[in-house]
Amino acid sequence: MSTTVTNGAAAGYRPTATLTFASEFMRQWRRRRTQWALGFMVLLPVIILIAFEIGGEGDDDNGRGTFASIIDVALAGGLNFALFCLFVSSSFLLVVVFALFHGDTVASEASWGSLRYLLAVPVPRGRLLGIKLAVALTYSLMAVAVLVATGLLLGTLRYGWHPLASGISADVPPGEGLLRLLGIAGYFCISLLVVAGIAFLLSVLTDAPLGAVGGAVLLFIVSSILDQITALGEIRNFLPTHFARSYLGLLTSPVQFDGMVKGTISALCYAALFWGLAFWRFTRKDVTS
């Protein structure tokens, strides 16, 4: 008995097979911006290590204050060197990386004029957006993982495998210190989901990838500036960047999780809001490019 197709689709058509995670992952892997971004995550610890070697121990802090003490801790071992690499990149570099991978998703397809052809395959809009978001998140997490792994490897080879020195409490044994380092890296990723959400939403709203990336970075910087204005009082608690430094709780003994829990909830709520708006808008907009 023959099978009759009643939904208008071609025989054998399966929406779940139109755009797979693996195919999109490889498409993005072949792009120069992906290779350059991940490559710089490897290069940054090398640059920092060379800077330390050229600069020596830095006996004269020249009024650098807290930053001078952070540099001193960075030389205490591989764990501290990797932690320092995270610190110096978290305020701007990782923000740009997360914004790049998420803001360049849909907007780049629209700017090339290939978005409408993808939808004509046909790839369901929800699936297309979901796959692109999953791939963007994967590459963002890979960037952080590559940075931490490279910093840990270079730092251990140069400075040895020693306890994690926080500078604000007792030293942490290497095994526990590694877990705390991974926890800090994980919290950085969670807090940067706000940037990912903003960039992804802007990528749906505009056909200019640089506009989506730049807009997300700009809004994150504005939020960071507003968080420094104490006159705002309790309003600052609702800013996406208010709990960005809560990772310091993992460097104390005992560990303080209160700020990290609040920061995680805040970041997840903002990310879910922006991603929800992106899906809502994309499934309803007219795609002409």
The proportion of the chain whose per-residue pLDDT surpasses 70, expressed as a percent, equals 84
146: Cβ contacts below 8 Å, ≥ 6 apart: 38, 41, 42
pLDDT range class, residue 45, cuts 50, 70, 90: very high
Cα separation, 27 vs 7, whole angstroms:
31
At 42 the pLDDT is 95
Is the pLDDT reported for residue 16 higher than 80?
no
Stronger pLDDT, 144 or 12, i.e. the higher one: 144
Helix (H, G, I), strand (E, B) or coil at 164: strand
Taking the model in full, what pTM does it have? 0.88
pLDDT range class, residue 67, cuts 50, 70, 90: very low
Taking CB atoms within 8 Å and a gap of at least 24, the contacts of 251-255 are 251/164, 251/166, 251/167, 251/168, 251/169, 251/180, 251/184, 252/166, 252/168, 252/169, 253/169, 253/170, 253/172, 255/180
Is the pLDDT reported for residue 180 higher than 70?
yes
How many Cα atoms sit within 13 Å of 73 on the Cβ side?
Answer: 23
Token pair for residue 220? 């994150």
**Largest Cα span, the chain:** 87
Q: Which residues pair with 164 in a beta bridge?
A: 172
Segment 215-233 shows an average pLDDT of: 91
Cα separation, 98 vs 244, whole angstroms:
15
Distance of CA 135 to the CA centre of its chain: 12
Token pair for residue 279? 């899906």
Cα separation, 71 vs 60, whole angstroms:
12
At 50 the pLDDT is 92
Is the pLDDT reported for residue 129 higher than 80?
yes
At 70 the pLDDT is 55
Is the pLDDT reported for residue 6 higher than 50?
no
Place of tokens 């929406």: 15
Segment 222-245 shows an average pLDDT of: 89
Most confident of 74-83, 95-104, 242-251: 95-104
The torsion angles phi and psi of 164, rounded to 5 degrees, stand at -80, 115
Segment 190-207 shows an average pLDDT of: 93
With vertex at residue 98, the alpha carbon angle to CA 96 and CA 102, rounded to the nearest 5 degrees, is 115
Token pair for residue 119? 């939808």
Q: How far is CA 257 from CA 65, 87, 264, in A?
A: 27, 19, 10
At 271 the pLDDT is 95
Which of 166-175, 232-241, 274-283 is predicted with the least confidence, judged by mean pLDDT? 166-175
